[in-house]
Amino acid sequence: MASPEIHPSAIIDSGACLGDDVTVGPYCVIGEGVELGDGCLLHSHVVLAGPTIIGKQNKFYPHCVIGGRSQDLKYEGEPTYLKIGDGNTFREFVTVNRGTSPGESTAIGNNGHFLAYAHVAHDCVVGNGVIFSNNGTLAGHVTVEDNAIMGGLSAVHQFCRIGRHAITGGCSKIVQDVPPFMIADGNPAQVRGINSVGLQRHGFDKDQIRDLKESYKLIYRSNLTVKDAVEKLKERYADKEEDYPVQELIAFIQDSERGIIR
């Protein structure tokens, strides 16, 4: 394996740890407590602050700031963390903050794409395969599950959840949970339908997509309350396994603390 390739203008703290085949471009700053995995690429003017653990094959574009201190006003400088998986792309001016309480972490999974000016705040948990369009913004303690898509200029209130394979439309205001497989759009956001195209692209079969469409109609287009709609879904799909998409939808709604977007 090759040693790191570091531009002479870069500043790297002696307490940082760089893996093999890392490329650090001009005017980058890597702080104390940063662990950078093999094959990572830093274009110019990237700032990595620690304590931050970063996996392999991540790409950082100019002026992104990764691992900055929590912006929560309660934060008083305690040691907190950021953990990033493998294969992510962080485009220009993306910001990701560490956790707030002592020992707590912000966490990002694998193979995510964070486009220009996206922001992941303190204590968020972001899954695998996500896409944050330009200016997609999370407040603190937000959970974004695998393969979710954040529309450009969309903003998510603290403690909300964005379910697996869900989409938020551009300029959306998200103040409650977005159930998995759904499309939420507007200010304030409303659920408009299911993410049929995305589900097809990710290998969901026709029966699964049909059942999700029927579930959407029952929850959002009937005169039932959410609670009553969920009870009907539980009866209708009682014979399905726990990992069946409708069962996942039911569990997400039942676990919601803020309530779901209607």
Enclosing domain of residue 29:
5-141
- pLDDT score recorded for residue 1: 67
- pLDDT score recorded for residue 141: 98
**From the CB of residue 103, how many other CB atoms can be counted at a distance below 10 Å?**
9
109 classed as catalytic: no
d(CA 71, CA 99): 9
Please give the average pLDDT of every successive group of 10 residues along the chain, which has 262 residues: 90 96 98 97 97 98 98 93 98 98 96 98 98 98 98 98 98 98 96 96 96 97 94 94 95 97 93
Number of domains the chain contains: 2
**Domain end position, chosen among 124, 141, 158:** 141
The answer to the question of residue 233 being in a domain is yes
Write out the two tokens for 149: 């898509």
123 classed as catalytic: yes
* Catalytic member of 45, 63, 119, 122: 122
* Catalytic member of 50, 112, 127, 140: 140
The answer to the question of residue 152 being in a domain is no
102 plus 225 within the same structural domain: no
How, if at all, do strands 59-60 and 41-42 pair?
A: parallel
The answer to the question of residue 262 being in a domain is no
pTM of the complete model: 0.96
Helix, strand or coil, per DSSP, at residue 198: helix
Element (H, E) at 214: helix 206-220
d(CA 228, CA 222): 10
**From the CB of residue 44, how many other CB atoms can be counted at a distance below 10 Å?**
16
CATH number at residue 129: 2.160.10.10
- pLDDT score recorded for residue 237: 93
Write out the two tokens for 199: 């589900």
DSSP H stretches of helix in 32-113: none
The answer to the question of residue 146 being in a domain is no
140 classed as catalytic: yes
d(CA 262, CA 252): 14
- pLDDT score recorded for residue 193: 96
* Catalytic member of 123, 177, 185, 211: 123
- pLDDT score recorded for residue 172: 97
Count of CA atoms in the C-beta half-sphere (13 A) of 47: 12
- pLDDT score recorded for residue 3: 85
Residue 247 DSSP one-character state? H
Q: What is the DSSP code string of 103-136?
A: T-EEEE-SS-EE-TT-EE-TT-EE-SS-EE-TT-
123 plus 44 within the same structural domain: yes
